[in-house]
Structure 1
């Protein structure tokens, strides 16, 4: 299989997608992975076996386009030697259209996934490659041809390298300019961290306009400005992570958005795209702080809020949360109300109603099912809470989107 490990490496480098080498028993023996699939979606052992079985039943020049219930798409081709099937090479996951809120809602409801995973899935799917049907056909053709033919190591030929003469005065000027630029960059980073930690989008816009040239720096690797710009944008992603953590965001939310942008940065095709991506990244980290920050709360209230967000679909009560946090229920209730201005139950219901709205807008899942999905065990209670918070019944709210 050494021959196919080389082929997998080439395919991974060219397509920028995950590539797996699967043996005839359906086990992955070699993997090159950029997208770490969220744990809530992981259960693919049987799928690899199913893909192998489909390829085994068809001609050696066939490739298999496969989509699972999570909307993850793959392309696979069989490994054949002397008409004997030895396994397969699988490229993916990718998606064939840009996911929206409705797409994520459908994935959650169709697969009965916990609604508390929405944020993680919101970050995961947009980071996947979006492949058109024409591109997937080309990838299939490429994969079949690479699997059928024996790998031949290539030989690199290069032109002579001409080294330009160094001008000492010019070098001194460059060093002085670099010193000024580096100092300016660090000032920019400090301002950026402070703005993101507060979730201040207006300040982000002002800083970005003020420091326009710092968003796509191409002088660190002169022969490859796009590589240099990607490197500095990856650094900015790390800076944003630090800022969001300082802003009081739980690490699980920071991890998913950071991983998404690391992938998108590497996939950026040119400098203008990378610059726009940098601005989007700053804004999304601000949104993260605005929605999930617990910076202004005491330690006990922070832990309670994080627990609620991560277990929204479960049966949540004051006593259960207090027991999990090893605190007195009455003390937690008083602290929570004093700091958030709402009771724990009202806060839980508010978050559940926000999630329910996203599913009701789709109109493809029953109200009863949605109520249970978001953590309500009583349909009548769900309807009363929903109307109290929106002035509409769930049915009336749904009709607005039909």
Structure 2
């Protein structure tokens, strides 16, 4: 790769700095299309093709540009990247790829377009939505400045800095002051932990209104002092990481399927770390708690028997596929008649009605887009007959799909 003067270890140090400051995944792809350095915080969802397929194409483009150029690349699923060539003594060595990021906020329409254009399974909507929402948002000016930064950083060999700091003076802790602080704080701490327990119990039960009541009642009790006074952003991030973990545990306790728990937790872990200001971080507290709570409310199977719980999880994760009582029973290794009885007993409706209801709810998202044919939507959510889809939709909503579109314009 390149010539004998190229120092991969030095470039790795440069990319470590780049990764730390720009908060994006960073890779170095050598001139033979091999990933020689990879600094990645999260993986692409399995249903999205790897960016590695584009390496040969990007290689040819970047190598043909000047050493001070930055190539802006958008792939077929709307993920955006910056690619910068690495040159040493006029010899091309490969390119640095930073991303993915987005230049627009990914709303429901964006995710729907990705699913439709890339023919992805509708059951992956929640995972895809969590993934895209976790990505950094950059304006055109941001990406231009980022390109300049990467070009200048990668144009020169790495030089290690020498950190010089003054001697550390240990703080003086007086026993009387410590005892006074403990006495003053103990009641506040006890109150805070009581509210924390109530909050997590409400998350586990999926009680959104209870969450809002507790939040309003808490007031200033959750305004914790900075544990790292010189870095309030880091202090707030640490507290939010703890909150994310507590909510994850509460949601699992509340019967939320591990797939949903993982997707929500992963999304917020990345969002927390990539947030750059205190107002944005402060808003995340309520968002994290309410999203876990709502997910438990919608998807929890805690009150169901293990047989029905397995059936519901299989249905929710495979809506776009053919689903029958016999197929589901075979998948979870139970008798079909027994499953049918238990499902009606636990859920209150029969299994086929549950499947149809879930598919109708999923179809509403795409019907509101207005630019996808109803026939295509029917197939996307698992119906193989348009007339049957229309009948089921009307049974569930008292409207035909066309009437639903008109009523929600």
TM-score range, shorter-chain basis?
over 0.9
Q: Which residue of structure 1 aligns with residue 318 of structure 2?
A: 311
Aligned to 1:386, the other structure's residue is in SS state: helix
Q: Say whether 1:77 aligns with 2:92.
A: no
Q: Which residue of structure 2 aligns with residue 334 of structure 1?
A: 341
Moved more, 16-25 or 297-306: 16-25
Q: Which residue of structure 1 aligns with residue 352 of structure 2?
A: 345
Q: Which residue of structure 2 aligns with residue 171 of structure 1?
A: 178
Cα gap change, 1:142 to 1:261, in 2 (>3 Å) = same
Q: Say whether 1:265 aligns with 2:275.
A: no
Q: Which residue of structure 1 aligns with residue 34 of structure 2?
A: 27
Whether the 8 Å contact between 1:52 and 1:87 is mirrored in structure 2 is yes
| Per-residue deviation, 1:256 | 0.6
* Structure 2 Cα separation of the partners of residues 333 and 79 of structure 1: 62
Q: Say whether 1:41 aligns with 2:48.
A: yes
* Structure 1 Cα separation of the partners of residues 13 and 393 of structure 2: 56
* Structure 2 Cα separation of the partners of residues 365 and 223 of structure 1: 52
Q: Which residue of structure 1 aligns with residue 129 of structure 2?
A: 122
Cα gap change, 1:177 to 1:270, in 2 (>3 Å) = farther
Cα gap change, 1:184 to 1:374, in 2 (>3 Å) = same
Whether the 8 Å contact between 2:44 and 2:50 is mirrored in structure 1 is no
Q: Which residue of structure 2 aligns with residue 87 of structure 1?
A: 94
Deviations 1:84-126 (A, max 9, x none): 3211111111111111111111111111100000111121111
Whether the 8 Å contact between 1:3 and 1:151 is mirrored in structure 2 is yes
Aligned to 2:227, the other structure's residue is in SS state: coil
Cα gap change, 1:400 to 1:51, in 2 (>3 Å) = farther
* Structure 2 Cα separation of the partners of residues 115 and 363 of structure 1: 17
- 1:226 alignment partner, one of 210, 224, 233: 233
Q: Say whether 1:293 aligns with 2:300.
A: yes
Q: TM-score, normalised by structure 2?
A: 0.93
Q: Which residue of structure 1 aligns with residue 17 of structure 2?
A: 10
Whether the 8 Å contact between 1:371 and 1:378 is mirrored in structure 2 is yes
Aligned to 1:41, the other structure's residue is in SS state: coil
* Structure 1 Cα separation of the partners of residues 401 and 261 of structure 2: 32
- Listed as ranges, the gaps of 5+ residues in structure 2 are 1-7
* Structure 2 Cα separation of the partners of residues 268 and 308 of structure 1: 35
* Structure 1 Cα separation of the partners of residues 95 and 153 of structure 2: 11
| Per-residue deviation, 1:301 | 0.7
Whether the 8 Å contact between 1:248 and 1:295 is mirrored in structure 2 is yes
Whether the 8 Å contact between 1:218 and 1:229 is mirrored in structure 2 is no
Aligned to 1:348, the other structure's residue is in SS state: helix
Question: How many residues are treated as equivalent by the alignment?
Answer: 402
Q: Which residue of structure 2 aligns with residue 102 of structure 1?
A: 109
Moved more, 331-340 or 263-272: 263-272
* Structure 1 Cα separation of the partners of residues 271 and 290 of structure 2: 15
Q: TM-score, normalised by structure 1?
A: 0.94
Q: Which residue of structure 2 aligns with residue 58 of structure 1?
A: 65
Aligned to 2:98, the other structure's residue is in SS state: strand
Cα gap change, 1:153 to 1:191, in 2 (>3 Å) = same
- 1:283 alignment partner, one of 274, 278, 290: 290
| Per-residue deviation, 1:63 | 0.8
Whether the 8 Å contact between 1:61 and 1:144 is mirrored in structure 2 is yes
Whether the 8 Å contact between 2:344 and 2:350 is mirrored in structure 1 is yes
| Per-residue deviation, 1:261 | 0.9
| Per-residue deviation, 1:177 | 4.2
Q: Which residue of structure 1 aligns with residue 252 of structure 2?
A: 245
Moved more, 127-136 or 385-394: 385-394
How large is the RMSD of aligned CA atoms in angstroms?
A: 1.9
Moved more, 124-133 or 20-29: 20-29
- Listed as ranges, the gaps of 5+ residues in structure 1 are none
